[in-house]
Structure 1
Amino acid sequence: MTRLSFDPSRLGRGLAFASAIDDLSAALDRSRTVVVSAPPGTGKTTLVPPILADRVPGRVIVTQPRRVAARAAARRLAQLDGSSLGSRVGYTVRGERQVSPSTLIEFVTAGVLLRRLLDDPGLDGIDAVIIDEVHERALETDLLIGLLGEVRELRDDLVLIAMSATLDAERFATILGTDACPAPIVTQSAPAHPLEVRWAPSPTPRLDERGVTWAFLDHVASTAVAAHRTLVRTDPAADALVFAPGAREVSEIAGRIRGLAAEFDVRELHGQIPAAEQDTVISGRSPDAAARIIVTTSLAESSLTVPGVRLVVDTCLSRAPQRDAARGMSGLVTGPTPKASAIQRSGRATRQGPGVVVRCVDERTFATAPSHAAPEIQAADLTDAALLLACWGAPSGVGLRLVDPLPSGSLDEALAALRGLGAIDADGRATDEGRALARVPTAPRLARALRAGSDLVGGRAAAEVVALLTGDLRVRDGDAQATLNALRTGRSPDARRWEQDVRRLERFAGASDTARGGADQTGLIIALAFPEWIARRVDQSPNGATFLLASGTRAGITGPLASADWLAVADVTRAQGRAAAGTGALIRSAAIFSEDQAEQVAPHLCTDRVEARFVDGRVVARRERRIGAIIRSSVPVRVPADDGGREAVRRAVTEQGLGVFIWSAAADALRRRLALLHRELGSPWPDVSDTVLLDALDAWLGPELSDLAAGTPAARIDLAPALRRILPWPAAVDLDALVPERFRVPSGSHVRLSYPPADDASARPVVAVKLQECFGWAETPRICRGRVPVLFHLLSPAGHPLAVTDDLASFWAGPYSQVRAEMRGRYPKHPWPEDPWSAVPTRHTTRRAALG
């Protein structure tokens, strides 16, 4: 069967990128990797795929960062091509697929292609991949660039194109090519339709501790209505696009506009509305329909076109992920929209002609916004990414040409989580369990809950809960069980999409029953996915309750679940305001749980042991039953006279630090000397920092731990003998020669050296000695095999400092004369010779020195 080609001249009619077709063809003639840089609306997503499809024998894959954009791009191209959707042009997104054996161009989300790569690393039958919207720096897109770069090393026939809407093309060209030979760049500018910029700052603050203020939402709604009424008087075909930070604000603004302007067709556009409604919004309107005001999130910023828009009203607020390393969570935080994103938003008004943007801030506030959004990789949970890389054979991304390396802190947390799931081994490589989890189309934690939960509550019930947690569905009042009940009965508008996800996940559940789960089972599945978020109520007020999570984090919640004793938490995020109960974190999704269930799903977190603490210098002990940081019961006990008691004391010292001891002068001096030796000479001299000593308590403090457990006060523990246990033998015989406690000065005195604190790497050993005792001493002494010069504090006869030097010869030759002039009258009984080189060093007065 003959393969019919696409017609670029017909597809590109009216599109700015049509003039760049020859440049793209020339670039493809000389390179298999190309970067395309063109602003939104120029037509690159419409034209580049069919150009490639006519050049390669296999299928062309085009990735989009969002499902709605993938569906819209496929529908638009199929319409222009005159073919039915799913024939020559199709799409695949989570839960939806419209393709056929004859499909030449397939639009997919980046996540779909990542999972396809795990099943088919060679991409059999696919001859070209286009990664669209790379400038958004979505995590999955960044990962694709790294993985596809490695695929190309095995398949030099694979064409790879990265498309960006901003001017960072050079960076991607270097990554797709090499430093010496970057990929060619094809650029195209957008038509310069005029844009009128207006400023409409709110008289009240945009944000408070609870988020976006109601007064600001009122202001945005009234501003949008007034601006659009003015516009449609001269341009009845014009539509308006209002940008809000999140789905909640979209609904609130849309509701207010409906109340103010019944003449407009008010629509919402965000990721939580059904796909059919999303597609209706972006398909445009008929000429005789009412003018539309579309309230949207950043979804409409750059990856899809909403036709007919001539007015943009911008809150200049965005919601972006922010990592909280202390709490081990990521949360969406509302803040100023980066200027680059705001410029892209305003460009929506000028895609088809002159437009207007109304920014609901003043010019000064806009100028202080960040220039660009931070890449998602900097704040995202990396568990899914780390598992994918482990299954790919590049643990932690080693060896891949990534746009940015994975942040070490977030990566370490992700690897620890995967080890806890049994998904990776000690070397970071995927286990059989890890590969099984990666095949489930959801996050690793949820995949684990699905597989393990199927044996406990049945495959259907487990799939229902996981589908709720996977599907980005809104959980009203944080009550996952109530939301699940609404989905099961069809009362939720998300029921159809949820049911599709349930059927898809049930295939991976490993159980065939269809039993429905109760409230206790919902919590059970959630706890299997997030055992460290098992939570117990610790405080309650009229405004809500505070829960302590097994991880040690406190989080607030309002609504019906605030009265529960135990919760299994599915979503907890950074937040401020009344709902967070002053904890800095808010529980957004949870189900009722029980203490007994914790032992069933999280035995690794359940402990029953003696815990010791130092109180007034003595060890006191309590027997505690815990689930992570949650104390289930605590009763006072005597410290056991066994290994358990010694272990409890060891934990107490580790937790409270070495400050529980009173360091004697001898112990402190020995530690300082050892620290200097370790710093200067290294092995075999031991590291005596707090961290290392606490990690090796048994090696040097073993007998003392037993004494503490037996009741000896910490103040009576001498740490000097303990430190001597870690002296390296036989090297220790040179201790006094390398770092002497005292050394002899020319007067015959043996003066003590003062060594710097163990944690001060910049300080020097010091000798404080009377100036007269050093007459004639030219060579500054050095210790640690001559590596460290001693710093001299030269003192007056009364012991006051006169000079500080580590170069005695220079001191005698210069500054001494000034010191002599100032001091000889003050201390006439002591020698102040004009020539210090020939003077006899002494610690006595002139008269006594003369008497001998």
Structure 2
Amino acid sequence: MRHDQLLQLPIGEALPRLRDTLDRHGSAVVHAPPGTGKTTLLPLALAGLLADGAPARRVLVAEPRRLAARSAARRMAWLLGEDVGGSVGFTVRGERRAGPDTRVEVVTTGVLLQRLQRDQELSGVDVALLDECHERHLDADTALAFLLDVRDTLRPDLRLIAASATQDSQAWARLLSAPVVRGRGTSHPVRVLHAPPPPGVRPPHGTWVDPALLRHVAATVRRALAEVPEGDVLCFLPGVGEIGRVAALLDGVDARVLQLHGRAPAPVQDEVLRGAVDGVRRVILSTSVAESSLTVPGVRAVVDAGLAREARTDHARGLGSLTTVRVSRAGAEQRRGRAGREAPGVAYACWAEAEETGRPREPAPEISVADLTAFALQTACWGDPDAAGLALLDAPPAGAMAAAHETLRAVGALDEGGRVTSRGQRMARLGVHPRLARALLDGAALVGSELASETVALLSEEPPRAYGDDAAEALRRARAGRRTDPYGTRWAAEVRRLRSLLGRETRRPAGMTDERGVGAVVALAQPERVGRAQEPGTYLMTGGTRAGLAAESALRGTPWLAVAVADRPAGAATARVRLAAAIDEETALAAADALRTVRREVRWDPDAGPRGEGGDVVAREVESLGAVRLSARPLTDAPPARLREAALDGLRRQGLGLLHWSEAARSLRRRLAFLHRELGEPWPDVSDEALLERAGDWLGRVLSRADLARVDAGNVLSGMLPWASGQAARLDELAPERIEVPSGSRIRVDYEPEQPVLAVKLQEMFGARETPRIADGRVPLLIHLLSPAGRPAAVTADLASFWADGYRGVRAELRGRYPKHPWPQDPATAEPTRHTKAGAGRQRPRQG
């Protein structure tokens, strides 16, 4: 046993307080900075493996990642001077190294959930420690909620510990009803230098990160190597793709560049965690996996790109994707702390200091943004389908849970009452997403258990981009690399696991090719993503989303596609296909049969009707596969009432222009609008809104757009006149269509302006002393006095005033231009005329 190493771990001084807290409360929250030994010393001490007289117990440690679980087990075994599988072992999906003498077993939270579903009492376990709770992974939140339920109902002796590396431990303390035990850290001072990128770097969207930022990060790594003369440089980047690109930009640096992430080969992971050898400096490019779960020795400088990658789910479309976000302040603090584990260090933050306060305080809990289908199946199997009785820091969003339950009912995991079925219980034991579990169970009978397991293993961990977007070809590449390629090795282990869980082997049918079999299984996993070709390279999926293939994809041209992986880039109109399989129509119909519908459709279709005008009533029987229309044939027996309702809907959508509007009808509408505005009831409101609101009352038997075009709007308006009160007879009196002027002409009144207009030649109004008024004398007409050429010479609502004051100027301006027309000095007494004959403008005899 390496006593010297164990004694150096600072968490040791908190052990007495932790033991006392567990004895009194049965649970505890441990807060200690990364590197203090909470993941390694605490489990060994609680298991009685430190030769300090503590009783022997069996301790289960849950880690959020496989890499962290393996690393923690190896570190504890090394501290004991043993090999993994003895006193300390681990279990991750597809790999178990533990035996009858194992006292500390490290598992992933996913494995812990599987174990709890099989054995709710967690038999043989005395202490359960959930590590890195602050990361807020959904599996960890769920496992802790289940453990609390177990302790409250079945195992009051079970001791629980929630371990966190961040200061925000009070929420966990309230959840566990337990005190916080704090361990001191031994972190050395870390000098933080802000190194913002040059102007013009664009913010990330989706999984896209501006190459200019990556160039800046690579330059900052070189700067760190130059300014910090000793030790390794740990650089945080959001994902595997960015790690590869920055590694290429660091070609030629005087250091060994290592790429650390969840998919990194085991030898690379071991080399990172072992430390530098032969004095060669290292640059470790890492995802957030190195934030707190792992101890990377030798680091003296940290370069933080300031980004993290989180899962997001579009529940309406069933599309999941990763998105790049700014790292939280808590996450940035964790990253910086890595530079001060063993000696004073330097942290380079690749953003402006002013941006610090704008970053989120904590990362978003996965339960608030993720697909909850697997979570909902876990809680249903636990006996709490809505998760209402579980002790969770954050309740699951109602919309996400509703979408999850709908999916689970569709795959047969839940019945209509929301209770888990026997099929659902079997699906939960498979340890894959419920959609993949459905594909495995049903696909094994269809294509054979081997091909079904191979395909589901391919879908459970997305293959490298280098494998391409054709799932059948990616499967062949995984087979070829099962002994040499890191992904292929993991894939082969998962295939073996799935085949063992299936139990009875089924053979591949004769003639079943890889292409057909892979396509069938992918379609079973994602029936909402079965798509039919639209324009070249674009598919409409049954879920209603359009998805596009890359220009160079070998899948372009296939009439049907089963999409395994797709995401929607920020701002894009269509989803982007990452992995898919070509299928035929028969496979599409079989896999998505639950989405197949035949419906009688009577509605207004805005795309039907005459070319260029658009819209008509359609009546047809439509067969669809989700959003994909398979066929449509006309209905000959559509009920007239439904046809009328569809026509009415079209009228409301496209407006009253669908009716027949004669000039007389338009004129009547303007007159009625005037009377409604000036006199109110009983004169009707004939605005578009009012007419459409009451269209069901006045629209007769119409079955199509052509019927609407035959409806005389004038007759409709006439029917709205106040006949019952007798006021309709006064229409021409109150709002006359024409007004007789002094010359005897009957001039049309224009009711379009707010104040009605009478446009008349000036000479025809000679002798008129008062302005004509309408609406029971309430509204004077606005007189447009026209020149002989018909152009406005003056506008007035007060004729007497115009004759007295304004006429003189008009006469002076126009009589020379129109000498054949009369321009008397006193128009108020002159004879009105429509003509130019001699004497037309002579004076009238004065009265009296």
The answer to whether TM tops 0.5 is yes
Q: Alpha carbons of 1:142 and 1:485: their partners in 2 closer, same or farther (altered >3 Å)?
A: same
Whole-angstrom distance in 1 between the partners of 2:323 and 2:705: 51
Note if contact 2:545-2:574 (Cα within 8 Å) is conserved in structure 1. Answer: no
Task: Tell me the residue number matched to 1:693.
Answer: none
Note if contact 1:315-1:360 (Cα within 8 Å) is conserved in structure 2. Answer: yes
Q: Deviations over 1:195-251 (max 9, x none)?
A: 11122222241546671122222221122123113323xx2xx11111111111011
Note if contact 1:486-1:492 (Cα within 8 Å) is conserved in structure 2. Answer: no
Task: Tell me the residue number matched to 2:292.
Answer: 302
Note if contact 1:389-1:397 (Cα within 8 Å) is conserved in structure 2. Answer: yes
Question: How far does residue 113 in structure 1 lie from its aligned partner after superposition?
Answer: 0.4
Candidates 262, 265, 282, aligned match of 1:271: 262
Q: Deviations over 1:11-53 (max 9, x none)?
A: 6321221221222122123110111011111111112112221
Whole-angstrom distance in 2 between the partners of 1:75 and 1:479: 38
Task: Tell me the residue number matched to 1:831.
Answer: none
Task: Tell me the residue number matched to 2:569.
Answer: 575
Q: Deviations over 1:265-310 (max 9, x none)?
A: 1110111223343233222232x15211010111111111111111
Write out aligned runs for 1:364-379 (5 A): 364-379=354-369
Candidates 476, 488, 491, aligned match of 1:498: 491
Q: Secondary structure at the match of 1:63?
A: strand
Amino acid at match of 2:471: A
Candidates 184, 202, 221, aligned match of 1:189: 184
Q: Deviations over 1:479-526 (max 9, x none)?
A: 222211111122744211111110110123355246485112111100
Q: Deviations over 1:754-813 (max 9, x none)?
A: xxxxxxxxxxxxxxxxxxxxxxxxxxxxxxxxxxxxxxxxxxx999xxxxxxxxxxxxxx
| Residue 160 (1) aligns with residue 160 (2) | yes
Q: Secondary structure at the match of 2:77?
A: helix
Candidates 25, 39, 42, aligned match of 1:45: 39
**Aligned-residue CA RMSD in angstroms?**
3.3
Whole-angstrom distance in 2 between the partners of 1:253 and 1:388: 39
Whole-angstrom distance in 2 between the partners of 1:25 and 1:46: 16
Q: Deviations over 1:522-560 (max 9, x none)?
A: 1110010100001123234xxxx3322110112233131
Which sections of structure 2, spanning at least 5 residues, go unmatched?
Answer: 49-53, 607-613, 657-695, 712-776, 780-848
Write out aligned runs for 1:438-453 (5 A): 438-453=428-443
Amino acid at match of 1:553: T
Q: Deviations over 1:555-586 (max 9, x none)?
A: 23313134433211111223147xxxx32532
Q: Secondary structure at the match of 1:212?
A: coil
TM-score by length of 2: 0.72
Whole-angstrom distance in 2 between the partners of 1:413 and 1:29: 43
Task: Tell me the residue number matched to 1:175.
Answer: 175
Write out aligned runs for 1:282-431 (5 A): 282-286=273-277, 288-431=278-421
Amino acid at match of 2:390: L
Q: Deviations over 1:429-453 (max 9, x none)?
A: 1111111111112111101100100
Q: Alpha carbons of 1:425 and 1:539: their partners in 2 closer, same or farther (altered >3 Å)?
A: same
Task: Tell me the residue number matched to 1:526.
Answer: 522
Task: Tell me the residue number matched to 1:631.
Answer: 629
Whole-angstrom distance in 2 between the partners of 1:396 and 1:214: 44
Note if contact 2:26-2:157 (Cα within 8 Å) is conserved in structure 1. Answer: yes
Q: Alpha carbons of 1:618 and 1:588: their partners in 2 closer, same or farther (altered >3 Å)?
A: closer
Q: Deviations over 1:83-124 (max 9, x none)?
A: 221110000001111100110000000000001001001111
TM-score by length of 1: 0.72
Task: Tell me the residue number matched to 2:844.
Answer: none
Q: Secondary structure at the match of 2:501?
A: coil
Q: Alpha carbons of 1:443 and 1:325: their partners in 2 closer, same or farther (altered >3 Å)?
A: closer
Amino acid at match of 1:494: Y
Q: Secondary structure at the match of 1:126?
A: coil
Q: Alpha carbons of 1:649 and 1:331: their partners in 2 closer, same or farther (altered >3 Å)?
A: farther
Deviates more, 1:63-72 or 1:355-364: 355-364
Q: Deviations over 1:718-746 (max 9, x none)?
A: xxxxxxxxxxxxxxxxxxxxxxxxxxxxx
Deviates more, 1:349-358 or 1:43-52: 43-52
Whole-angstrom distance in 2 between the partners of 1:135 and 1:223: 29
Question: How far does residue 254 in structure 1 lie from its aligned partner after superposition?
Answer: 1.2
Task: Tell me the residue number matched to 2:95.
Answer: 96
| Residue 549 (1) aligns with residue 541 (2) | yes
Q: Alpha carbons of 1:584 and 1:320: their partners in 2 closer, same or farther (altered >3 Å)?
A: farther
Identical positions, percent: 41
Task: Tell me the residue number matched to 1:86.
Answer: 85
Write out aligned runs for 1:447-596 (5 A): 447-476=437-466, 477-490=468-481, 492-513=485-506, 515=508, 517-540=513-536, 545-558=537-550, 559-560=552-553, 561-576=555-570, 582-583=572-573, 585-596=575-586
Whole-angstrom distance in 2 between the partners of 1:246 and 1:646: 59
Q: Secondary structure at the match of 1:552?
A: coil
Q: Deviations over 1:364-412 (max 9, x none)?
A: 2343222221100011110101001101111111211111111101000
Note if contact 1:660-1:714 (Cα within 8 Å) is conserved in structure 2. Answer: no
Whole-angstrom distance in 2 between the partners of 1:706 and 1:90: 80
Note if contact 2:190-2:340 (Cα within 8 Å) is conserved in structure 1. Answer: yes
Question: How far does residue 712 in structure 1 lie from its aligned partner after superposition?
Answer: 7.6
Task: Tell me the residue number matched to 2:771.
Answer: none
Note if contact 1:274-1:497 (Cα within 8 Å) is conserved in structure 2. Answer: no
Task: Tell me the residue number matched to 1:29.
Answer: 23
Note if contact 1:244-1:250 (Cα within 8 Å) is conserved in structure 2. Answer: yes
Task: Tell me the residue number matched to 1:679.
Answer: none
Task: Tell me the residue number matched to 1:260.
Answer: 252
Note if contact 2:619-2:638 (Cα within 8 Å) is conserved in structure 1. Answer: no
Number of residue pairs matched? 654
Q: Secondary structure at the match of 1:478?
A: coil
Q: Alpha carbons of 1:522 and 1:715: their partners in 2 closer, same or farther (altered >3 Å)?
A: farther
Task: Tell me the residue number matched to 2:220.
Answer: 223
Amino acid at match of 2:472: Q
Q: Alpha carbons of 1:113 and 1:192: their partners in 2 closer, same or farther (altered >3 Å)?
A: closer
Note if contact 1:338-1:370 (Cα within 8 Å) is conserved in structure 2. Answer: yes
Note if contact 1:461-1:514 (Cα within 8 Å) is conserved in structure 2. Answer: no
Note if contact 1:127-1:157 (Cα within 8 Å) is conserved in structure 2. Answer: yes
Amino acid at match of 1:15: L
Question: How far does residue 611 in structure 1 lie from its aligned partner after superposition?
Answer: 3.1
Deviates more, 1:139-148 or 1:590-599: 590-599
Candidates 188, 192, 195, aligned match of 1:200: 195
Q: Alpha carbons of 1:26 and 1:594: their partners in 2 closer, same or farther (altered >3 Å)?
A: same
Amino acid at match of 1:395: P
Note if contact 1:617-1:714 (Cα within 8 Å) is conserved in structure 2. Answer: no
Task: Tell me the residue number matched to 1:148.
Answer: 147
Note if contact 1:576-1:584 (Cα within 8 Å) is conserved in structure 2. Answer: no
Whole-angstrom distance in 2 between the partners of 1:706 and 1:338: 64
Note if contact 1:272-1:473 (Cα within 8 Å) is conserved in structure 2. Answer: no
Amino acid at match of 2:195: A
Amino acid at match of 1:281: V
Whole-angstrom distance in 2 between the partners of 1:362 and 1:506: 52
Question: How far does residue 336 in structure 1 lie from its aligned partner after superposition?
Answer: 1.4
Q: Secondary structure at the match of 1:626?
A: strand
Note if contact 2:444-2:506 (Cα within 8 Å) is conserved in structure 1. Answer: no
Note if contact 1:573-1:585 (Cα within 8 Å) is conserved in structure 2. Answer: yes
Whole-angstrom distance in 2 between the partners of 1:715 and 1:303: 76
